[in-house]
Protein backbone atom coordinates (compact mmCIF):
# COMPACT_ATOMS: atom_id res chain seq x y z
CA UNK A 1 0.00 0.00 0.00
CA UNK A 2 1.26 3.46 -0.81
CA UNK A 3 -0.20 6.94 -0.56
CA UNK A 4 -0.68 7.29 -4.31
CA UNK A 5 -3.44 4.65 -4.00
CA UNK A 6 -5.16 6.59 -1.19
CA UNK A 7 -4.82 10.21 -2.27
CA UNK A 8 -5.80 11.78 -5.61
CA UNK A 9 -4.55 15.25 -6.61
CA UNK A 10 -8.06 16.72 -6.24
CA UNK A 11 -8.04 15.72 -2.57
CA UNK A 12 -5.26 18.14 -1.62
CA UNK A 13 -5.92 21.78 -0.71
CA UNK A 14 -4.26 24.76 0.92
CA UNK A 15 -6.35 27.02 3.14
CA UNK A 16 -5.30 30.31 4.67
CA UNK A 17 -7.00 29.53 7.93
CA UNK A 18 -10.07 27.98 9.47
CA UNK A 19 -11.60 29.27 12.70
CA UNK A 20 -12.27 25.98 14.51
CA UNK A 21 -11.89 22.20 14.38
CA UNK A 22 -15.57 21.83 13.52
CA UNK A 23 -15.11 24.06 10.46
CA UNK A 24 -11.98 22.08 9.51
CA UNK A 25 -14.03 18.86 9.58
CA UNK A 26 -16.59 20.54 7.29
CA UNK A 27 -13.76 21.45 4.91
CA UNK A 28 -12.47 17.86 4.99
CA UNK A 29 -16.00 16.68 4.19
CA UNK A 30 -16.26 19.09 1.26
CA UNK A 31 -12.88 17.94 -0.03
CA UNK A 32 -13.98 14.28 0.23
CA UNK A 33 -17.12 15.17 -1.70
CA UNK A 34 -15.23 17.04 -4.44
CA UNK A 35 -12.54 14.37 -4.84
CA UNK A 36 -14.49 11.14 -4.28
CA UNK A 37 -18.20 11.96 -4.27
CA UNK A 38 -18.59 11.08 -0.59
CA UNK A 39 -21.37 12.85 1.29
CA UNK A 40 -19.75 15.80 3.01
CA UNK A 41 -22.26 15.65 5.89
CA UNK A 42 -21.63 11.92 6.36
CA UNK A 43 -17.85 12.46 6.41
CA UNK A 44 -18.27 15.33 8.88
CA UNK A 45 -20.42 13.19 11.18
CA UNK A 46 -17.92 10.32 11.01
CA UNK A 47 -15.03 12.63 11.91
CA UNK A 48 -16.97 14.18 14.79
CA UNK A 49 -17.91 10.74 16.12
CA UNK A 50 -14.30 9.51 16.01
CA UNK A 51 -12.95 12.72 17.54
CA UNK A 52 -15.34 12.31 20.49
CA UNK A 53 -13.29 9.23 21.44
CA UNK A 54 -10.12 11.32 21.72
CA UNK A 55 -8.25 13.97 19.76
CA UNK A 56 -6.48 12.94 16.57
CA UNK A 57 -3.86 15.67 16.81
CA UNK A 58 -0.67 13.62 17.06
CA UNK A 59 1.81 16.41 17.77
CA UNK A 60 4.33 18.51 15.85
CA UNK A 61 1.57 20.41 14.06
CA UNK A 62 0.02 17.26 12.58
CA UNK A 63 -3.53 15.90 12.82
CA UNK A 64 -4.77 12.59 11.44
CA UNK A 65 -8.56 12.72 11.67
CA UNK A 66 -10.12 9.50 10.42
CA UNK A 67 -13.39 7.64 10.29
CA UNK A 68 -14.82 4.29 9.26
CA UNK A 69 -17.88 4.81 7.08
CA UNK A 70 -20.66 2.54 5.87
CA UNK A 71 -21.18 2.43 2.14
CA UNK A 72 -17.69 3.15 0.84
CA UNK A 73 -15.72 0.52 -1.04
CA UNK A 74 -12.12 1.47 -0.36
CA UNK A 75 -9.88 3.69 1.73
CA UNK A 76 -9.68 7.37 0.72
CA UNK A 77 -7.44 10.19 1.89
CA UNK A 78 -7.64 13.98 1.89
CA UNK A 79 -4.97 16.49 2.85
CA UNK A 80 -5.20 20.11 3.96
CA UNK A 81 -2.29 22.45 4.68
CA UNK A 82 -3.24 25.50 6.70
CA UNK A 83 -1.22 28.67 6.27
CA UNK A 84 -2.22 29.70 9.80
CA UNK A 85 -2.21 26.84 12.33
CA UNK A 86 -5.38 25.89 14.18
CA UNK A 87 -5.80 25.03 17.86
CA UNK A 88 -6.71 21.37 17.61
CA UNK A 89 -6.37 20.05 21.18
CA UNK A 90 -3.37 17.96 20.10
CA UNK A 91 -1.49 15.70 22.47
CA UNK A 92 1.37 18.24 22.65
CA UNK A 93 -1.06 21.20 22.87
CA UNK A 94 0.48 22.75 19.75
CA UNK A 95 -1.67 24.06 16.90
CA UNK A 96 -1.84 22.04 13.67
CA UNK A 97 -1.18 23.06 10.09
CA UNK A 98 -0.87 19.65 8.36
CA UNK A 99 -4.05 17.59 8.34
CA UNK A 100 -4.37 14.21 6.65
CA UNK A 101 -7.90 12.80 6.79
CA UNK A 102 -8.50 9.12 6.16
CA UNK A 103 -11.81 7.38 5.44
CA UNK A 104 -12.20 3.62 5.39
CA UNK A 105 -15.06 1.16 4.92
CA UNK A 106 -16.74 0.27 8.21
CA UNK A 107 -15.53 -3.34 7.96
CA UNK A 108 -12.02 -2.60 6.63
CA UNK A 109 -10.34 -4.01 9.75
CA UNK A 110 -6.59 -4.36 9.40
CA UNK A 111 -6.46 -2.47 6.06
CA UNK A 112 -7.65 0.69 7.83
CA UNK A 113 -4.93 0.25 10.46
CA UNK A 114 -2.27 -0.33 7.78
CA UNK A 115 -3.36 2.81 5.92
CA UNK A 116 -3.35 4.83 9.14
CA UNK A 117 0.13 3.51 9.98
CA UNK A 118 1.39 4.45 6.50
CA UNK A 119 0.02 7.98 6.81
CA UNK A 120 1.44 8.27 10.32
CA UNK A 121 4.93 7.14 9.23
CA UNK A 122 4.86 9.56 6.32
CA UNK A 123 3.76 12.48 8.46
CA UNK A 124 6.39 11.70 11.13
CA UNK A 125 9.12 12.23 8.53
CA UNK A 126 10.59 15.65 9.36
CA UNK A 127 11.84 16.14 5.78
CA UNK A 128 8.39 15.47 4.32
CA UNK A 129 6.77 17.90 6.78
CA UNK A 130 9.37 20.58 6.04
CA UNK A 131 8.66 20.25 2.30
CA UNK A 132 4.91 20.36 2.91
CA UNK A 133 5.24 23.51 4.98
CA UNK A 134 7.48 25.15 2.37
CA UNK A 135 4.98 24.71 -0.49
CA UNK A 136 1.60 26.31 -1.08
CA UNK A 137 0.80 24.59 -4.39
CA UNK A 138 -1.67 21.70 -4.06
CA UNK A 139 -0.05 19.80 -6.94
CA UNK A 140 3.37 19.98 -5.31
CA UNK A 141 1.90 18.92 -1.97
CA UNK A 142 0.32 15.88 -3.61
CA UNK A 143 3.64 15.00 -5.25
CA UNK A 144 5.52 15.33 -1.96
CA UNK A 145 3.04 13.08 -0.17
CA UNK A 146 2.78 10.41 -2.86
CA UNK A 147 6.50 10.30 -3.61
CA UNK A 148 7.50 10.07 0.06
CA UNK A 149 9.35 6.86 0.80
CA UNK A 150 8.85 5.61 4.32
CA UNK A 151 10.29 2.51 5.93
CA UNK A 152 7.86 -0.36 5.71
CA UNK A 153 6.62 -1.93 8.92
CA UNK A 154 7.28 -5.60 9.43
CA UNK A 155 4.55 -7.70 7.88
pLDDT in tens, 65-95: 999 999 899 999 999 999 999 999 898 999 9
Residue 77 and residue 112 in contact, taking contact as beta carbons nearer than 8 Å:
no
Question: pTM for the whole thing?
Answer: 0.92
d(CA 95, CA 78): 19
Backbone phi and psi for residue 111, each to the nearest 5 degrees, phi listed first: -60, -40
- The tens digit of pLDDT for each residue in 104-129 reads 999 988 998 999 999 999 999 999 99
| Among 98, 96, 83, residue whose Cα is nearest residue 136 | 83
- CATH architecture of the domain covering 3-147: 3-Layer(aba) Sandwich (3.40)
Q: What is the pLDDT of residue 155?
A: 38
Active site (catalytic) residues: 66
Q: Residue 118 belongs to what H/E stretch?
A: helix 110-124
Examine the pLDDT at 153 and tell me if it is beyond 50.
Answer: no
- Residue 150: what pLDDT? 52
Radius of gyration of the chain from Cα atoms? 14
Amino acid sequence: MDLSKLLVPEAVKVFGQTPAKKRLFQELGELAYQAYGLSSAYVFDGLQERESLGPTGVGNGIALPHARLEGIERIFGVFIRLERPLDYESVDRQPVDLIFGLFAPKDSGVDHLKALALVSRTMRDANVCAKLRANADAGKLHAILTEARTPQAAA
